[in-house]
Chain A
Amino acid sequence: MECYIGIDLGSTTTKAVILDAEGRIVGRGITNSRSNYDVAAQVAKQEAYTNARFEMLSRILRDETGVDKEERESLESHLTAAYAHECFLGQLSRLEQHCRTDLDNPRFDDDRRELLQSVEVIMQGIREHAHRNFQPSATARSDFFRDIAGAAFIDVAAEISRGGGPAFDKLVGMFDRNIIPVENEQETRSFSELLTAAYGRLPDGLRSSVAGLPDTLKAVADTPMEEVRTVGTGYGRVRLPFPKDCIRSEILCHGLGAHLMFPATATVLDIGGQDTKAIQVDAQGVVTSFQMNDRCAAGCGRYLGYIADEMNIGLHELGPLAMASKRRVKINSTCTVFAGAEFRDRLAAGQEREDIVNGLHRAIILRAMSLLARSGGIKNEFTFTGGVAKNPAAVRALREVGEENYGELILNIAPDSIYTGAVGAGTFAMRDVAAGVGANQEAA
């Protein structure tokens, strides 16, 4: 299969999509951006390939086996969860390894034994957490190893130090130091190895539910996927590990991506981790004007991240929590770093958690509104993209504020909205190849 790849190296997350020769999205991958762009891009791409193969599997199961829908879905979700679990355990054992090696440092001479013991307890704790978390029915707090493992790490560490073990700070410091190398290493096992391992984790009943499942899995794993061209975009684009002519500005990519997803798009709002963009596009998806936040990250996605951290809940849970609010609390400061303090203040003042969180969402949207206003207002159709578009409370606030001020809106949000920039980039890759421009892509 011919693959065109778009990679969006965001400030918070790195997204990759794979487009087939017809420009359909066949795979998506996302990972958190990190200090090593190469790795981030590789990991996202790898994830996208994995995702593409799972989609392939899904198609085969649907079209080529007689298995009924319910059973098929059960199999797929189990297999996906088991695959993720497998990857997680791989990373976890690397984390453990790094923690142990780290403790060889002479400055731990005094309490090495205690710390090593704690590591053991913590790892065991995380494994147990993971066991629950990777049930097909479980809703994950986050997609990323750092977040899932980190939260569990903190929980167990707090317990240990409360019980008279090493100081909490010391334990958590261990995580902070060692998560970095883990993130910067890639999974060493191949897709096929991981898939086989995941297959091994399936309950017996499921394993035999489809005749010849192992062969099907092998076929999926062996299907060749050929990377024709990759185009990169995003915050880190000046440092992208790509040849210069395979790089596009994120504004252009977002505009085009939104246009492709919703051809009648006139205005695009993208709220990412550290930046917010308001873009106006014409009928061909060409950007006509735009505004971005400069110099200050107030009111971006990262803000929600800090709040979720503060409450020790997952990003996914934040929106639903806010949706439960019935009152509106007005929040004025959107400085990302102050968010936690403001949250605590308000709690102390007796305000409800969900109302505060709801207010925080509205505050973000209000910030975005001023960028939108500066770029020329909201015109129909209006497409909302970026990570924050996944958040139902942010969407609700956007719709409310938008309609109060600009009348009725056609508000588009694609399930793939976080991939908008990557889709734009992938499409530029296709167009470049079609037009015969651009580099030969060995380098990527």
Chain B
Amino acid sequence: MSIAAPPQTQATGRLGEIIALAQSLYEDIAFKAVADWKAKDKTRRAIGFLPVYVPREVIHAAGGLPVGIMGGGDMTEIVRGDSYFQSYICHLPRSVIELLVSGRLDSMDGFLFPSICDVIRNLSGMFKLLKPDRYVHYFDLPQNFRSNLGGTFYVSELKSVAGAVSAMTGTPVTDERLRESIKVYNANSRAMNALLELRIEKPWLVPAAEYYLLLRAGFLLPVDEHTAMLNEYTLLVQQSDRRALDNIRVMVRGAFCEQPPVALLRTLERAGCYLVDDDFVVGSRFIPDPIAETGNPWDALADAFMHHSLPAASVYDEKHEKAKKLVDRVREVRADGVLLMAPSFCDPALLDQPMLQEALEQAGIPFTSFKYSEDTGQFQVIREQAGTFADAIKLWGTV
């Protein structure tokens, strides 16, 4: 319920500039920013990776720029992409293929397809066929979490990627370099955490759409530039005069891969929901705690993935603790409820849902679920749903 139309949170001045930059990077579906970055030095190489998680440290250490390919959003017109996928497959791969066949991924020197689902997996084969001259690798993440088994396998995968990127850049990945990269990314994740903390405390300062754009910027910009951007934003936004609205606090789960359009996030907020935690672009903060900066850096990365990463539908929940973690997190961020939003036709997310719902029901946490696709253009239904959800909590309070 809203008493009056919520005022548009307009960012002005330097804050406005930061958002505008993030927005323009987000809209840069031709990856011009990457081409510009490469143009500054002939030896530079960019490696595109698909959602969800890829240890960017390794690419960084090999002197490459890791670039997230998160789909074409609602900005890509699908002309040929549809001819590669049946109607019952999610939207992301069509826009990615569209970007590929229309030449908009030409600035990428290689592609990594992390193992998150069969669609991404098969997409790696399609890239191999369509781009035989590029480095295309299916990056298999272990589902066994013993260091002598999954760990060893994972390190071999990391080394194979490092080797391939090094061969392009001429920069070998030494342990020393890798440790340095870990440090740089740790700084980034600290900046990310600070922003997230602020958002949890004062969500009206950090609108979902802005937060999201900043996350996306991190998948395009060189890491130190992104860290600086985050820090500056976090500082400035605390000095702004943004005021709180009569909104409820919600947490989002299920959006780890195909991304919702930004307009959808705005719709949610307008319907009375502050997003205090989510799993959008989850790879950008998949390992929330700093990774060990000393010792064997390869093992450190493996250990971080296997034991310190966030839960995701694509990773086997060996300890059977996904439900508990979800409920704990809701409490930790003091969310009034949970939005389970999943991409249409996304098997991992949708098969996860009944389990998450069960857990929330058990814990007495309100939730609602809906599907979206990256090019969803009609928000009425979602607005109604989120609005009703917010109404119920506002009229009756949390449970």
Contacts and interface: CB of A to CB of B under 8 A. Distances in A.
A284 interface: no
B377 A332 contact: yes
A96 B80 CA distance: 52
Contacts of A331: 377
Contacts of B77: 330, 362, 366, 401
A330 B78 CA distance: 12
B180 interface: no
B146 to A, nearest CB: 46
Interface in A302-353: 330-333, 338, 341-342, 345
A97 interface: no
A333 B79 contact: no
Given A366-B78, A370-B78, A401-B77, A342 B83 contact: no
Of B77, B78, B79, B102, the most chain A CB neighbours within 10 A belong to B79
Contacts of B74: 330, 332
A373 interface: yes
Contacts of B10: none
Contacts of B378: 332-333, 338, 341-342
A341 B384 CA distance: 15
A366 B79 contact: yes
Given A330-B74, A366-B77, A405-B102, A374 B377 contact: no
B375 interface: yes
Contacts of A369: 78-80, 82
Q: Chain A binding site: helix, strand, loop or mixed by DSSP?
A: helix
A22 to B, nearest CB: 40
B380 interface: yes
Nearest to B378: A333
B80 A373 contact: yes
Interface in A377-403: 377, 401
Contacts of B80: 369-370, 373, 377, 405
Interface size class of chain B, counting residues whose CB lies under 8 Å from the partner chain? 10 to 19
Given A330-B74, A366-B77, A401-B77, A373 B377 contact: no
B376 interface: yes
Interface size class of chain A, counting residues whose CB lies under 8 Å from the partner chain? 10 to 19
A370 B85 CA distance: 10
A7 to B, nearest CB: 33
A346 to B, nearest CB: 10
Nearest to B374: A332
Given A370-B78, A401-B77, A332 B83 contact: no
A332 B81 CA distance: 15
B29 to A, nearest CB: 12
A362 B77 CA distance: 10
A342 B82 contact: no
B82 A373 contact: yes
Nearest to A374: B83
A337 to B, nearest CB: 12
Nearest to A402: B79
A333 B377 contact: yes
B82 A374 contact: yes
A29 B375 CA distance: 41
Contacts of B375: 332
A345 B83 CA distance: 30
B359 to A, nearest CB: 33
Interface string A227-242: 0000000000000000
Contacts of A338: 378
B83 A370 contact: yes
A333 B381 CA distance: 13
Given A332-B377, A369-B82, 19 more contacts: A332-B74, A332-B375, A332-B378, A333-B378, A338-B378, A341-B380, A345-B380, A362-B77, A366-B77, A366-B78, A366-B79, A370-B79, A370-B80, A370-B83, A373-B81, A373-B83, A377-B80, A377-B83, A404-B79
Interface of A: 330-333, 338, 341-342, 345, 362, 366, 369-370, 373-374, 377, 401, 404-405
